Structure 1
Amino acid sequence: MSILDVLSNNQVSGDLVDIKRTNPLHLNIDGEKTPLTNSDGATFEELMLEAVNGVNSDQMESADLMQQMITNPDSVDTHDLTIAMAKAEMSLNVTKAVIDKAVSAYKEITSLR
């Protein structure tokens, strides 16, 4: 994978690469401290909904393959079904862990008052 696959044409000019700033104390390309802006405009809510939709699609794919395996066993490879089920389980476990950490962080922040 090339760096040009990750960066757009306006981010690369010759040997210069526009680096993404993640800390508001970092200086921009002009050497000034400016507030950070969200380049893609995605909010936290949109990112979480996108992640949950991804988990849902993994679960639906697994369920569809399982149903297809029951109705027509010769049409589905057992390995494909096993991989889809493992992928769905893994994405659900990761999502549960992230949500648990977010809830515990929120509880900890509210208890500091």
Structure 2
Amino acid sequence: MPGHTQRKCAVAASRVQNTLEIRHVYLREWMGWARRSQLEPMIKLAKTIKTHEEGILRWFHSKMTNGLLEGINGLVQASKRKARGYRNVNNLIDMARRDCQVKSVTFETRV
């Protein structure tokens, strides 16, 4: 029953969207409270959250962080430090691949 499956997917997508909207409303309400609190650290935190609001709300949908990429970047930077003096960039790339042991990266999508 393809129609049934499509309806279930549409309902699930609608619930996710509603949940994201509710979180957005709560976050906005909290930021308003923080600004009105007249406590300088809370006001500063509210401004920081406002700056990163899109990424914060996106995390609730995807549950993904950039931790994996930051870890790989650290390994590549270490490889660059070790590779000083090599004759060409291919040696650096080979060393980075060996250090990171990255052949392919796949991501799961969560709904």
| TM-score normalized by the length of structure 2 | 0.33
Higher relative contact order (CA 8 A, sep 6+): 2
Higher helix fraction (1 or 2): 2
| TM-score normalized by the length of structure 1 | 0.33
